[in-house]
Amino acid sequence: VNEIRDSMEVVQSAEYPRFLALLIPPFSSLLVNEPAAFVSNSPEQKLRLAILEIIHRFPHNDALKNYAVDLVKTLIHILKEDNEDNACLALKIVVDLFKTYRTPLEDLVQSFFDLVQDMYRNMKQAVKDTFDTVPGTVRHQRGGENGTEAGSWDCTPGHAQPASPAGADGGEASSTKVLGKSMYSFKVLSECPIIIALLFQIHRKAVPQNVQAFVPLVMEVRVDSKIMGPNGNGGSELRYLTWERAFFFTGS
């Protein structure tokens, strides 16, 4: 997979349709049917991220149009079930596909809106998991089903809380990071408002129904003084939540 990712010249050639036919079905099957990984340097996570990076590099032309619906369905699955690093990249791919293939993907736009609304519904629990802890500490977001915890948000892939004390023995242990679950991730949700605003511009019919749904959900994500913590912890989240609320009342 890494060799394919690093040798993408074929996508500019006449072989591109055949290239897509050979790769997209197994890629989609793996991403949907294999369980997500929540440790940044695990082989499973490296493979999933490499596949998403390859998909992100696909030229958006008529050849890819035939696969757009299946790709978006796969990416929505990533957004629902995967870790936050993969979900951030999936969001970038989704918005590019929605912009390029407006008509073929029109029926999937509402599925994306519904997904983001579910993310907002999860934020109350995510904030509770992250900040409701003993004074002077910050508990991090939930990871996978094993109950591990993940680091505070940053949209750089792999930027999360170390799974073990960094530098204890040096080497690989210090680079191991536990990744948060996408549906409870501040950093994933922080990417969504501008995408929603863009989709509102493209799909005007969806605006009334979804604005009515989004406004109370955004207002429910309260900016509470406890988010700051006793030592200023959570300042990034505070800036994000404040900006988030302002965005929906001034940007759309």
| Distance separating alpha carbons of residues 123 and 141, to the nearest angstrom | 10
Domain count, the chain: 1
**What is the tens place of the pLDDT at every residue in 171-186?**
555 578 999 999 999 8
pLDDT (0 to 100) of residue 133: 52
**What is the tens place of the pLDDT at every residue in 109-161?**
999 999 999 999 998 888 778 776 544 444 444 554 433 334 334 454 444 44
- Res. 1: pLDDT tops 80: no
Alpha helices in the chain (DSSP H): 2-6, 16-33, 43-57, 62-65, 68-81, 84-100, 109-131, 172-175, 186-190, 192-202, 207-220, 235-250
**This model's pTM is above 0.85:** no
**What is the tens place of the pLDDT at every residue in 202-227?**
999 999 999 999 988 887 765 543 44
For residue 222, give its domain range. Answer: 2-250
pLDDT (0 to 100) of residue 40: 95
Tell me whether residue 14 is exposed, middle or buried, using C-beta atoms within 10 angstroms of its C-beta: 0 to 12, 13 to 18, 19 or more.
exposed
- What is the average pLDDT across 54-71? 96
- Res. 187: pLDDT tops 50: yes
pLDDT (0 to 100) of residue 142: 53
